[in-house]
Amino acid sequence: MIKFPQNFLWGAATSAYQVEGNNTNADWWQWEKAVHRENSGMACRHYEFYEQDFDLVKSLNHNAHRISIEWSRIEPEEGKFSQGELQHYVDVILSLRARNIEPIVTLHHFTNPIWFSKAGGWVDRRAAEIFLRYCDFVVNGLAKHVRYWITINEPNVYISHAYILGVWPPEMKSYLKAKTVENNMLLAHIKAFRLIHKIYKELNSPKPRVSIAQNIMAFVPCTQALKNRFAAMLRNRWYNFSFLDKAIRHKTLDFIGINYYSRQLVEVKRWGINSLAADVCEKGHHPVRKNSLGWDIYPEGLYELLLKLKNYRLPIIITENGICTQDDRLRWDYIYNHLKNIHLAIEKGAPVTGYLYWSLMDNFEWDKGFGPRFGLIDIDYNSYKRTVRESARLFGEVCKTGIL
């Protein structure tokens, strides 16, 4: 029998911009319109329907739920903070609490206020300071009701998409700028971590638990050729561990939040920085099943990474893990096999204390629009009707019993 530890956090995750709808003050909103992409528009209308969505969460036996706060709602103009929007998030969190669901709250999930981006965004040397003012306002308002915080979601994904590949706003392709953003995000995290702890102390509240959500990937050399092994090692170090290492060196993680989806099969054409950083096998070697975006499904990679993460001696929460697919049986298969590997890692001593599926519902998948279906719950974008998928029910049983 596969049985998970007592008090395990079970649930799902969303982010504000992807589900709320109508986030007109965010830089993404402006960018979508400018590049004529599928627009996020009303998204899932979760901003209005959160109560009924949380009823579904409850009916699926989740005891935890990850949301994010939309910075551009809270601070639509520089230095002008909205009490009304803060109250909205207080209501959202209280409605989770009323259902006995532990909120896990992210402060930055890819989007920024338009004014912040215009002023240089995360490249600007004042970025961390500006972000901190927003954190101060939000954390003071929510501290009484929240224990778990994620300061920044996936700095490595944000940096690589927005500043290296140039496929997300502000569409930069500059290693130099990417490095600056990394430094600024690290500083922002460190300062936010300390600020959150300080606020809880002043309020005499029980200690908060603060982390980032780190995207990690299984980098697997396609062949044993030296350049493939070397590149896989480099990517593993830079992409998976460098930000975490730094945050830990500054003693600014109370737990490790990780987001795991897929494998990258590393096959390097030539020695050279670009090839070492990005080349992948294009010949279909070592085939595995894929999600609808073509990402490899590779649950054993999570097991291996968890054993490495164990060395940090901090509790680990899987803050995202999920699949986009039209085939709901494949979704359950994906969840089942990832949970199995997580359990194996727990048996080997990896202190995993929670699992959040990405995502509670189908939503706006950034530059890919509404096509990819990651949800435990299906969204009909014409009627906004919610339909619980079978995979959600199966996962709900695990959440209820702790038994896979």
Among 180, 215, 262, 291, binds ligand BGC (CB under 6 A): 215
Tell the smallest beta-carbon distance from residue 403 to ligand BGC (Å): 28
Amino acid at 80: K
Dist. CA 32–CA 294, nearest whole Å? 23
* CA-closest candidate to residue 284, choices 227, 330, 222: 222
Tokens found for residue 104:
């896990």
Which lies closer to ligand BGC via its Cβ, residue 228 or residue 319?
319
- Rg value, the chain, Cα: 20
Tell the smallest beta-carbon distance from residue 270 to ligand BGC (Å): 29
Tell the smallest beta-carbon distance from residue 385 to ligand BGC (Å): 21
106 lies in the binding site for ligand BGC (CB under 6 A): no
Which lies closer to ligand BGC via its Cβ, residue 68 or residue 228?
68
Among 112, 228, 252, 259, binds ligand BGC (CB under 6 A): 259
Amino acid at 84: G
Dist. CA 110–CA 108, nearest whole Å? 6
365 lies in the binding site for ligand BGC (CB under 6 A): yes
67 lies in the binding site for ligand BGC (CB under 6 A): no
Tell the smallest beta-carbon distance from residue 110 to ligand BGC (Å): 6
- Kindly write out the interface string for residues 6-35 of this chain, putting x where it contacts ligand BGC by CB under 6 A and - elsewhere: ---------x--x-----------------
- Within 282-321, the residues that bind ligand BGC by CB under 6 A are 320
Which lies closer to ligand BGC via its Cβ, residue 109 or residue 209?
109
Signed CA dihedral, 204, 205, 211, 213: sign only: negative
Please count the other Cβ atoms lying within 10 Å of the Cβ belonging to residue 284.
7
Q: How many chain residues bind ligand BGC (CB under 6 A)?
A: 10
- Report the Cα 69 to chain-centroid distance in Å: 13
Percent of residues in the chain assigned helix, strand, coil, to nearest 5: 45, 20, 35
Tell the smallest beta-carbon distance from residue 146 to ligand BGC (Å): 19
Element (H, E) at 256: strand 256-266
Tell the smallest beta-carbon distance from residue 68 to ligand BGC (Å): 9
Residue 154 DSSP one-character state: -
Residues that bind ligand BGC (CB under 6 A): 15, 18, 153-154, 157, 215, 259, 320, 358, 365
